[in-house]
Amino acid sequence: MQCDDNEVREKICSLIREVKRSIRTGVENKTFTPEEETYFYWKIDPSKFAYTSTGVVCGVREGSYVTRPSWFIVSKQAEKLALESAEYRSLFEALKCYFPAEIAPEQLLSNLIQKSILKCVSGKWSSDINEIQLVESVLKDLRGEPVKSGALVGLQGVALETAVIDLPGGTILRRPTISDLEKEMPANYAPVLSADTSIPSAILNVSCLARSPHEVQEEVEKAVAILRLFKTGSVKWLSYKLYSDTVKWHFGGTLSSGDRFTACDTFLITKDEVEPLRIFWDEVEAILPRNFFRFEDVRTDHLAIAYTRYSDAALDTGPIERRIMTAVMGLEALFLEEKQELAYRVKMRISKCLYFLQYNPLEVKDRLADAYDVRNKFAHGSILDKKTKKKLESKYGDVTTLFKTVLDYLRVSIILTMVCTVEKSVLLHLIDASLVHAESEIRLRAVIACCDKLVKHKVIP
């Protein structure tokens, strides 16, 4: 049957108004009175809070017990009255008539009632605009349309020179504030908070249109992948809180990564890099492979393998030898098909490609040779001996510098491969031909030039 939007809209409004009336009446005649509940409140000392090029410095968070009104029992009483009301029965029958495909109208209406009650007891019905927005969200849910949703994400591995960066699609990247770090929770569940590992270095507000929490989670993974590819660093999410205008799904709560280690490396987005980041975000979001961030996409190819190796190397808290080996393996996924002369082929192909992106090809080749030496030692059960380590330190200052350089080669190579529209075998053949054939070199330069603007912000260690 053709849906009469005005009829359904009016019935939704009637149910919401009945909930509001019930709450108001119950509070006035004191049949609805909140209980007292004890919470534990983690606080930050403002005098110890500072923001540096690597993120937040705030010392140890201290806590105290506070008492807050709890409307839990009241909400259950109000929900029971709403479910027994004529307004509920009228709306329920209308949904069965106009939306027969709706699998669980009872659950949707229960969520609507709970959301209305929460807004009432929390004082969020500031105007009729809130009521209208809720009604329109219910209608969108019933039609299967996406609604405004998002996530507030705590990140590590990235720091900001500017306080706030507005990114494409309504996404916002900003510095954490004291209020982001102060937490309140029921006293019985108050955890022990670390002074370091649970402190975000940046806050990402991802905004999108979504039909389910699953879709928002994928948008979070996509945003993290874009930041991770912008510069070399250990970008990861610590936790995030979902939010949405939907009534159909239970959005809310905080998801935690469970990661107890602080990010190994944090990069700084300077003021001069804000505009390059916006350009990068806009370009890369359109071409980012879905198997970089989609949970159900199990398709694996050389690019997905390379990105996985890149992420593993960036986030690994283990020996530097293992991180270098993992980064080299990522490069091999992109630049190898053969099973012989692996190191030689990788060095020649990568140095040739990066030459067109203003890297010194001889330096690239030399650093990859050192990386392969480290990789081979670790792959065969050895770590760097004192002599080799001293040699690398005299050359780079620190072995970590070699790792960051190789990781940057992998990052740029992933971007190059994403942007290029040619198959892996075709690209490798073109690279090899460019070493001895002038016309092939011109063609390769043209293929690679399209990603130059995405990596021109690079800072080579």
Residue 143 has pLDDT above 90, yes or no: no
Q: Write the pLDDT tens digit of every residue in 255-280.
A: 888 777 888 999 999 999 999 999 99
CA–CA gap between residue 54 and residue 77 (Å, rounded): 49
Mean pLDDT of 402-427: 94
Single pTM value for the model: 0.90
Beta carbons of 295 and 188 less than 8 angstroms apart: no
Q: Label residue 461 by pLDDT band (50, 70, 90).
A: very low
pLDDT at 127: 56
> Side-chain half-sphere of 99: how many Cα atoms within 13 Å?
22
Q: Write the pLDDT tens digit of every residue in 80-126.
A: 999 999 999 999 998 888 887 766 788 899 999 999 998 888 776 65
